[in-house]
Homo-oligomer: A and B are copies of this chain.
Amino acid sequence: MTPSPHDPADVDAIFRNHGLRVTSQRRRVLAAIGRLQHTTPDQLSREVDGDGGDALPLSTIYRNLDTLTELGVVAATRLTEGAPTYHLDQHATHLHLVCNGCGAITEAPLAVADELAEAVYDRDGFVADLRHLPVHGWCARCAPGRTEIPDQGGTDQHDHTHQHRA
């Protein structure tokens, strides 16, 4: 069985099993991702910096993010405008609902997209990876104001221009 990143004891094994060294930086990065659930590299950097130890340079954050991604321990998705969002891969048993209004990110079970997966497979033989699917739109709170999605023309003055957000 694959060791779980949730269990601090197993974390080391994950690295060792791949012939990689266990360093405090790696432990701290992985722990911080676990705490944040989903995070961009610089949020992660701040989280790691606040865990009591020394601050880690961004380059180390990035390198470890890459390593962890290669190991399949974490995965990235582009949910927002700026930096990609990383999360534990084992936590990726859902897809993301990203609100264009308030920026809120909700999770929904993969099952909601089962039909989609089947449809594109039947149509094109395309094997969809739903785990990282970012579904944009408007959450229950933001939708009321601007519900008209299915307007193709471009007549409507959408003003979801750009949002700063966090």
A136 to B69, CA, bound (A): 16
Which A residues between 84 and 134 are near B, CB-CB below 8 angstroms? 88-93, 97, 99-100, 106, 108, 110-134
A158 to B40, CA, bound (A): 22
Copies of this chain in the oligomer: 2
Q: Contacts of A72 on B, CB cut-off 8 Å?
A: 152-158
Q: In the complex, which of the residues B78, B134, B139 contacts A125, with contact meaning CB atoms closer than 8 Å?
A: B139
A72 to B159, CA, bound (A): 9
Q: Contacts of A127 on B, CB cut-off 8 Å?
A: 137-138, 143, 147, 149, 161-162
Min Cβ gap A105→B in Å is: 11
Q: Is the CB of A70 within 8 A of B161?
A: yes
